Structure 1
Amino acid sequence: MNRSLIEVAFQALASNDPDRISAVFTEDAEWLSPPGNATVVALKLIDHTLKVTNHMVGRKAIVRFWAEDFPRLFVGDLDLTFHQSHADGERGIVEATVTATLANGNHYINDYCFAFEFRDGLIHRVREYTDTARGHRMTFGSVPQ
């Protein structure tokens, strides 16, 4: 069950459809990504009024990010390739590669590991791990000092 929920969740995230995204997360869900990651930095450069953060708390914040903010940077050819996945009880893990075209025209490709916690048949927490230096190189051409 939870393994299929992960697949449905990533399809929903890629759709940018707020209703589909909302349907897979608990009301008090959290999404934690690495501090200083290129996505958050780039989105703040695109629009300094955005309230983007590496630690989204609540279904509304997660939905807003994936439906409104994320597509401002990842503008085309978004693809997620699963390499390994496992879900057992209240936890799951996915290794994947994300590719896309960025708003500045750069090609993005990076490997990720997502750790999930489930509650009541929904996603309660996601911890995202990735190579932040590689993300910065692909997004900006350099790594911050």
Structure 2
Amino acid sequence: MSLEEKNKQIIKEFMEVFSTGDIDRFLTYFSDTATWWVAGNIEGVSGEKDMKEFKEMNSGLATATKEAAIRLTPLAWTAEGNRVAVETESYAEMTNGKVYNNLYHFLFVLEDGKIQKVKEFLDTEHAREVFLGE
């Protein structure tokens, strides 16, 4: 199996675990120095986070969503070397009665089989409206 195929498999598994809401388990896919960056200017969400901050941000999903998670479905893949880009669709029914159904472009950078860096591009206005009611 090529490096690209191995990295795609790691990200596929990560998205499956993320979709369960098991934060401690999905954090095992990251290196200790990993960062997660989110586009936009949503206070508390956008910008770069280390894994401690990323865990804190995701902890609220358990109470904000009916299934305690946001389901991620990969739609299209591009992999080259240690970089994996994934077009992704999310879905979650929220406890506030809204539905979160967003489209993303994720860029994952892996080193030694662990995620080192993530860049997340999404419809920030949809996220703001569903999560913050704005």
TM-score after normalising by structure 1: 0.75
Unaligned ranges ≥5, structure 1: 42-51
Match of 1:30 in 2: 35
Match of 1:97 in 2: 89
Displacement after TM superposition at 1:79 (Å)? 2.5
Identity of aligned residues (%): 25
Output one character per residue of 1:23-65: Cα deviation in whole Å (capped at 9) or x when no partner. Answer: 100001000012333xxx5xxxxxxxxxx443211x3333343
**Letter matched to residue 26 of structure 2:** I
Unaligned ranges ≥5, structure 2: 1-5
Q: Is 1:111–1:131's contact at 8 Å kept on the other side of the alignment? A: yes
> Where does 1:1-145 land on structure 2 (aligned, <5 Å)?
1-37=6-42, 41=43, 52-54=44-46, 55-57=48-50, 59-66=51-58, 68-76=59-67, 78-140=70-132, 142=134
Alignment RMSD (CA, Å): 2.2
Q: Is 1:18–1:64's contact at 8 Å kept on the other side of the alignment? A: no
Structure 1: distance between partners of 2:111 and 2:126: 33
Output one character per residue of 1:84-120: Cα deviation in whole Å (capped at 9) or x when no partner. Answer: 0122211010001111112311111111110111111
**Letter matched to residue 74 of structure 1:** T
SS of the residue corresponding to residue 10 of structure 2 reads: helix
TM-score after normalising by structure 2: 0.80
Displacement after TM superposition at 1:132 (Å)? 1.0
